[in-house]
Structure formats: structure tokens, C-alpha cells
């Protein structure tokens, strides 16, 4: 278990892992993990928007005692980088999520396990010392959804992350590649889920409005979930200030600002572009996290400057896993943490709570 080839010495950045992973993944798996929705405008924007944000360096700062520690929902963390929920890790490594969790544990990072993991949530929890959160899709069968929640609670997961932004999507790159799960790989946590009821749509009617969305979740389902658990409950996929304010009103414990990695509605703004408006709307009433486009430690710094408490890493964990197994996942986290520390040193920030909009070039003078 956890076998991996040596990591090539010329892999020194997350972009190097991406290039190396492309050589190790077949075209269908690459289309699934690398692709976005429709024309992939939002997918490209997620990374490009970080490049448009310039930093303001500060020199001769006293950096003794600098640290990156934080606490989220009562959980201490050494640094503000988590592994985002990503489905079907076994498409790129035979040990799948078990290997990714091993890598996360080596770096003391929290891993958010997907409902669509290719390994059961119980097996992942039993295999690792990494702190785990569980990402929940509200299924068409609400009793099955509640059972998933109870399984996560029983297995020791520390928070529930409800993805709310993907009831439907157009994934043309996957369609062109003819992506389908190969034999032996499945959404292991969804075994036993009753089949989706047949569409009510006639031949000339909408398959979306009279079929796909029949059982889509609403705010009533979020209130229902809130009533079921005492675990911290986060909504993932918030891009609207109005939805962020509703999440606060519904008693959520946290928000993940996310456009689903550009895999949901195309031509949305980048996650980092939406973050300041959401931070202003929330006004510090609950923690904000962000995913989408994080590739450098400076990206993490910029997200924290604009109101995030932590970030989540999606595709890069898959790249690390494909190239180096658990060691690759750990190395990806190590690279990003080191780059964050360098960025903090060069902007004069000794702690995470010292990072604010003043580290950005266009921010008002401090």
C-alpha cells in the first residue's frame, strides 16, 4: 500500500506537479479532473485573477516568533491549507483516498473527504491520523442523506461540508473525451442509494426543470441538516453576498467561497474576485474559506488578505497523488506552506491575523 515512484528532483512547484501528472494520467481521467464547465472561462479565471492582484512588500520587519497557526471550529491547525473534497482518487492511484489521507497526515493537514470518494468514509477514517471533515451532497433520497451524515459522525469526522452549487452542470470536455468510470471504481459511500426516480419530462419537455432538478436541495434542506447535527456545518459553493447572509441567518458555522473549481456555472467570477464582497456581507460573523485556483503561497496570502481564514486545495492534490502517491500529496502541501511563509516574511506579517488588505498594492495606506 501507498507505493509511489520517487519524485523527480525538478518538481519544485505545483505547476511542475500538474505537468508531470498529465504524463501519468490517461485522456479520460485528465478530462475529468482538469476540465471545467462549458467553455471553461471560470476555470481559467480562477488562476488568472490571483495574478491580477499585486502585493505590497515590506522590509526590515521583526519576524521573530512568526507562525502560521490558527484554530477553526475549535480545531487547531498548523497552517491554513486544507485538502478540498475531490471525487474518485483511485482514478490516479490504486490506494486512492487512503494514500491522500496518509499524505495529509504526514503534513498535519485536514482532509475534506468527498461523498463521491472511491473508498468508504469509514475506511479512510480508520487508516489515518489526519483530521477529517466530510463533504455531503444532499441526495434525492433524504433518508439516505441522513444516514451518510450519521456515518460521518460515527467515524469521527469533525465537520460537515455541504456542497450547494452543483445540482446541474455542462462538462463538455468530459463529454468529448467520453469519460466514464472504469470497472472497479465507484462512489463507494453511495452504495445502496436508491435509483433516481425516472424523469417526468416528455420528449419535447425540459429534462432539467421537469427531471434533473425535481429533488434538488433548497434552504429548507439546509435547515433540516442544521437540526440533525451538532457538528460544525459549512456551505460550500457560496458566491453571492445575499446567499452568504442567508447562510448566517440559517445558523451555518462557516462558508466556503467557491465556484466548484469552474465546474458548475461557467462565466462566474473567480472565487478570489467574489471573496471581498462576501467578506463584507458576512462582517466577521463566521469563518470564510476559499477554494479555486490556489497554486502559490502568494495566492494563499492574497485570499487571507481579502477575508478568508483558510484555503482548500483541489486539483493540486490529485496532481501530487498521480505523481508521487502520499509523498506527492505531502510535498504539494509542504511547497505551498513554505511559499506562504516566504510571502508572509516579505510582506512583514508575523501571524495570520496580521494579514489584511494592506498587503495588497492597491489597498489604502496603513
How many Å apart are CA 326 and CA 320, to the nearest integer? Answer: 8
Q: Determine whether 140 is an active site residue.
A: no
Is 200 among the domain residues?
Answer: no
Q: Which domain holds residue 95?
A: 14-190+217-359
Helix (H, G, I), strand (E, B) or coil at 111: strand
Q: Please count the structural domains in the chain.
A: 1
Query: In whole angstroms, what separates CA 199 from the centre of its chain?
Result: 31
Length of the chain in terms of residues written: 366
pLDDT tens-digit series, residues 41-95: 999 999 999 999 999 999 989 999 999 999 999 999 999 999 999 999 999 999 9
Please, are residues 159 and 191 in contact by the beta-carbon 8 Å criterion? no
Residue of 70, 77, 69, 99 lying closest to 86 (CA atoms): 99
How, if at all, do strands 288-291 and 254-257 pair? parallel
Q: How far apart (Å, rounded) are the C-alpha atoms in residues 47 and 100?
A: 23
On the 0-12 / 13-18 / 19+ scale of CB atoms within 10 A, 9 is exposed
**Is residue 77 situated within a structural domain?**
yes
Exactly one of 260, 309, 319, 331 is catalytic; which is it?
260
Nearest to 159 by CA among 181, 176, 136: 136
| Residue 59, in any domain of the structure | yes
Average pLDDT, the chain: 93
Residue 308, domain member (yes or no): yes
pLDDT, tens digit, for every residue of 179-237? 999 999 999 999 999 987 766 655 555 565 555 566 788 999 999 999 999 999 999 99
The C-alpha cell of 245 is what?
447572509
Query: Has residue 249 been placed in a domain?
Result: yes
- Three-class secondary structure of residue 132 per DSSP: strand
Q: 139 is written with which cell numbers?
A: 441526495
SS3 99: helix
Q: Which helix (H) or strand (E) holds 257?
A: strand 254-257
Sign of torsion, CA 28 33 36 42? negative
Quick check: 313 and 103 in contact, CB under 8 A? Answer: no
How far lies 333's CA from each of 104, 222, 322, in Å?
Answer: 8, 32, 15
Instruction: Tell me if 61 is assigned to some domain.
Output: yes
Residue 254 · residue 286 · CB < 8 Å: yes
| Three-state SS at 26 | coil
Taking CA atoms, 53 is separated from 122, 132, 210, 269, 349, in Å, by 41, 32, 43, 14, 18
pLDDT in the model for residue 270: 98
Alpha carbons 191 and 196: distance in angstroms, whole number: 13
Say how far apart CA 41 and CA 48 lie, in whole Å. Answer: 10
3-state secondary structure 218-246: CHHHHHHHHHHCCCCEEEEEECCHHHHHH
Q: What is the DSSP letter of 153?
A: H
207 lies in a domain? no
Grade residue 96 by pLDDT with cuts at 50, 70 and 90.
very high
Does residue 95 fall inside a structural domain?
yes
**Number of CB atoms found within 10 A of residue 59's CB:** 7
Look up cell 501528472; give the residue. 21
DSSP β-ladder status, 70-72 and 75-77: antiparallel
Percent of the chain at pLDDT > 70 equals 92
Q: What is the pLDDT of residues 310-358, one digit of tens each?
A: 999 999 999 999 999 999 999 999 999 999 999 999 999 999 999 999 9
Provide the pLDDT for residue 196: 78
- Is 186 within 8 Å of 93 (Cβ atoms)? no
pLDDT of residue 4 exceeding 90: no
232-285: pLDDT as tens digits: 999 999 999 999 999 999 999 999 999 999 999 999 999 999 999 999 999 999
**HSE (CB half, 13 Å, CA atoms) of 298?**
15
Task: Check which CATH number belongs to the domain holding 36 and give it.
Answer: 3.20.20.70
Amino acid at each position: 500500500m501507498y507505493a509511489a515512484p520517487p519524485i523527480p528532483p525538478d518538481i519544485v512547484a505545483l505547476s511542475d506537479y500538474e505537468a508531470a501528472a498529465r504524463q501519468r494520467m490517461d485522456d479520460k481521467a485528465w478530462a475529468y479532473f482538469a476540465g471545467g464547465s462549458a467553455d471553461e472561462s471560470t476555470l481559467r479565471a480562477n488562476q488568472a485573477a490571483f495574478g491580477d492582484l499585486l502585493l505590497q512588500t515590506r522590509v526590515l520587519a521583526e519576524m521573530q516568533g512568526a507562525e502560521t497557526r490558527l484554530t477553526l471550529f475549535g480545531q487547531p491547525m498548523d497552517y491554513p491549507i486544507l485538502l478540498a473534497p475531490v471525487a474518485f482518487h483511485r482514478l490516479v492511484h490504486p490506494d486512492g483516498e487512503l494514500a491522500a489521507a496518509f499524505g495529509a497526515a504526514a503534513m498535519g493537514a485536514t482532509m475534506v473527504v468527498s461523498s463521491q470518494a472511491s473508498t468508504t468514509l469509514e475506511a479512510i477514517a480508520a487508516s489515518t491520523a489526519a483530521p477529517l471533515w466530510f463533504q455531503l451532497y444532499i441526495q434525492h433520497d433524504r433518508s439516505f442523506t441522513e444516514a451518510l451524515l450519521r456515518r460521518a459522525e460515527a467515524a469521527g469526522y469533525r465537520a460537515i461540508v455541504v456542497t450547494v452549487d452543483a445540482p446541474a452542470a455542462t462538462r463538455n470536455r468530459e463529454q468529448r473525451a467520453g469519460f466514464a468510470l472504469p470497472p472497479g471504481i465507484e462512489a463507494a459511500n453511495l452504495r445502496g442509494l436508491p435509483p433516481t426516480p425516472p424523469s417526468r419530462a416528455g420528449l419535447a419537455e425540459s429534462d432539467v426543470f421537469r427531471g434533473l432538478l425535481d429533488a434538488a436541495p433548497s434552504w429548507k434542506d439546509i435547515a433540516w441538516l442544521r437540526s440533525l447535527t451538532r457538528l460544525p456545518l459549512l456551505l460550500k459553493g457560496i458566491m453571492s453576498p445575499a446567499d452568504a447572509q442567508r447562510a448566517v441567518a440559517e445558523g451555518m458555522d462557516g462558508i466556503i467561497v467557491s465556484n466548484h473549481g469552474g465546474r458548475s456555472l461557467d462565466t462566474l467570477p473567480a472565487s478570489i474576485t467574489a471573496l471581498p464582497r462576501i467578506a463584507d456581507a458576512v462582517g466577521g460573523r463566521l469563518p470564510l474559506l476559499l477554494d479555486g485556483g490556489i497554486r502559490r503561497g502568494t495566492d494563499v496570502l492574497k485570499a487571507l488578505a481579502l477575508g478568508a481564514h483558510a484555503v482548500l486545495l483541489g486539483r493540486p492534490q490529485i496532481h501530487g497523488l498521480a505523481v508521487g502517491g502520499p509523498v506527492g500529496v505531502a510535498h504539494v502541501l509542504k511547497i505551498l506552506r513554505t511559499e506562504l511563509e516566504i510571502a508572509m516574511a516579505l510582506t512583514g506579517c508575523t501571524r495570520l491575523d496580521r494579514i489584511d488588505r494592506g498587503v495588497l498594492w492597491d489597498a489604502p495606506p496603513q
